[in-house]
Structure 1
């Protein structure tokens, strides 16, 4: 199926040709969801006096490669199923607007997974081969998110799956490869991050709700409706920030972690950005604010752990 790029959509989305076609294919705004968990897990390990820069770099790059590959599979399978067209927003658009071969996109995704596998071998050889088992599961779910006969992204479980694997699992692995141990507090601390990662997917599905419903998807946004989804997004934010505050008062997180609340402004902006909006392109700023909430929160949480390492302060 040949497509003709729609210049109006390309212009409104400020899409350019050349290198930026491949850059958009990576969906760079989502890659921070791969960086943040690795950073937090590694900083938690640093608090235990264990930090190997080589393992940190390998884990970070592998996580980013898997996330980018997942984005490419999303681009490929949505095109194959006829869900994307030259009017679609929130995608890289490499196939439907820039004429990149679907086969080339799929091959590139597999090559990214291959590179992540090689990094995984180094990580396992330097820590534990149990990581290989978990890593393979992560890759499988990355593929099944939009691939396979029953894509997870088309069900009400997309947000939960993304939150668990991109949040809790990655934080746990990042901590484990540094310390060769896994404490319950690490998993508890991962919950607010997992919730905010799930919120990114929810925001994406709010934006695409009408089109997804027409194409037979059954996401939470479709089940809740537009207004209900906004209320659910607000609830997720309340839980994430409320739990963070509780963890600080319980001493599980350092007092420095109060700086994560500087990201609350973006969370509020994301909720307001969805109110009274009907067109997907109108909701793009809200989608961006949701991703920025996770990025800023995660980076500030990691920095708070680093601050506690060098400037310990107790309540």
Structure 2
């Protein structure tokens, strides 16, 4: 398999959906907690990118092995230049690297990273795999938004401040005690809201475009249950909630006031929303959900990185 075909299999261009939250969390750790651990940053990057590529490869593998009027190997070879065994080998290697890096990260930090990593690993696999994948249920937006928006940001913050007792476990005299700094957890969650909404909207836009086809294939996603008109309203609302959240966090000085400059992106985001509302057709306007995610969270990441580097 060539590098180009490999990048197609793992859809390398979509990895920004995990790399931007990763960058946001790291910048937030430096800005709010004045802490940055380069070793943990590199290890988490390797684990995250490999796991993200693996889950995408699993999804594409399943799609092409289920292709009608084509054998499994022929479908995969036609698309990616590799047969079933080679694709499975690539998936295994990616998962192995992600797992090893995750274990190394746990050794460098604590068991919290391991527990969150295991849960994320399970959700990531069953998001596209299993008898009823999460992506085929009405909770796909919730899971994708929460895990890729909040969990990635939380972990990318936590690996730098794991020794500050933001979450702690103590065991003494057969008593297990858990300590959680609720204020900081809430701050990280609020900081994650634009990413949560942006990622959820990528999933929502995809399901809005495919709702009729999905029904024919017995795939009942959120737009099926709430209807396309309500789904389009939710699509718009999630972006606006993100902007309101950024304003509040800036005013409360949780993030720098300069973050308000990203409000300029609202002009373009509004135009993209209108385009999608008028013609929610996949090959025409689905891409606006990706563009909006990049506009909102990419600009926020750039501003945060500039601030922490100056």
Instruction: Bin the TM-score by the shorter chain.
Output: 0.7 to 0.9
More divergent stretch after superposition (50-59 vs 157-166): 50-59
Alpha-carbon contact 2:47-2:98 (below 8 Å) kept: yes
Distance 2:201 2:221 in 1: 13
Give how far 1:216 is off.
Answer: 0.7
SS of alignment partner, residue 302 of structure 1: helix
More divergent stretch after superposition (35-44 vs 241-250): 241-250
Cα root mean square deviation, aligned: 2.6
Per the alignment, residue 8 of structure 2 pairs with 24
Q: Which residue among 16, 20, 23 is the counterpart of 1:36?
A: 20
1:81-101 CA deviation, whole Å, 9 max, x = no partner? 55x899xxxxxx956745643
Number of aligned residues: 285
Give how far 1:227 is off.
Answer: 3.4
Alpha-carbon contact 1:79-1:95 (below 8 Å) kept: no
* TM-score, scaled relative to structure 1: 0.81
Per the alignment, residue 266 of structure 2 pairs with 264
Distance 1:188 1:296 in 2: 18
Give how far 1:117 is off.
Answer: 1.1
More divergent stretch after superposition (294-303 vs 146-155): 294-303
* TM-score, scaled relative to structure 2: 0.82
Give how far 1:51 is off.
Answer: 0.7
Per the alignment, residue 298 of structure 2 pairs with 299
Distance 1:98 1:71 in 2: 13
Distance 1:26 1:263 in 2: 29
Structure 2, unaligned runs of 5 or more: 167-183
- Tell me if 1:149 matches 2:151: no
Alpha-carbon contact 2:21-2:195 (below 8 Å) kept: yes
1:30-72 CA deviation, whole Å, 9 max, x = no partner? 2111111111111111121211222212212221221111111
Give how far 1:129 is off.
Answer: 3.1
Alpha-carbon contact 1:38-1:56 (below 8 Å) kept: no
Per the alignment, residue 42 of structure 2 pairs with 57
Structure 1, unaligned runs of 5 or more: 1-16, 87-92
SS of alignment partner, residue 150 of structure 1: coil
Distance 1:258 1:268 in 2: 17
Change (3 A) 1:46 1:228: same
Give how far 1:210 is off.
Answer: 2.2
More divergent stretch after superposition (187-196 vs 20-29): 20-29
Q: Which residue among 57, 61, 73 is the counterpart of 1:72?
A: 57
4+ residue segments displaced more than 6 Å: none
Q: Where is the helix percentage greater, Structure 1 or Structure 2?
A: 2
SS of alignment partner, residue 87 of structure 2: helix
Give how far 1:267 is off.
Answer: 2.6
- Tell me if 1:280 matches 2:264: no
Distance 1:296 1:113 in 2: 30
Give how far 1:164 is off.
Answer: 1.0
Change (3 A) 1:18 1:137: same
Distance 1:250 1:186 in 2: 13
Change (3 A) 1:265 1:63: farther
Give how far 1:173 is off.
Answer: 0.9
Distance 2:92 2:112 in 1: 23
SS of alignment partner, residue 104 of structure 1: helix
Per the alignment, residue 200 of structure 2 pairs with 198
Q: Which residue among 233, 251, 254 is the counterpart of 2:253?
A: 251
Per the alignment, residue 177 of structure 2 pairs with none
Give how far 1:273 is off.
Answer: 3.1
1:122-148 CA deviation, whole Å, 9 max, x = no partner? 212222233122112111111100111
Distance 2:229 2:113 in 1: 41
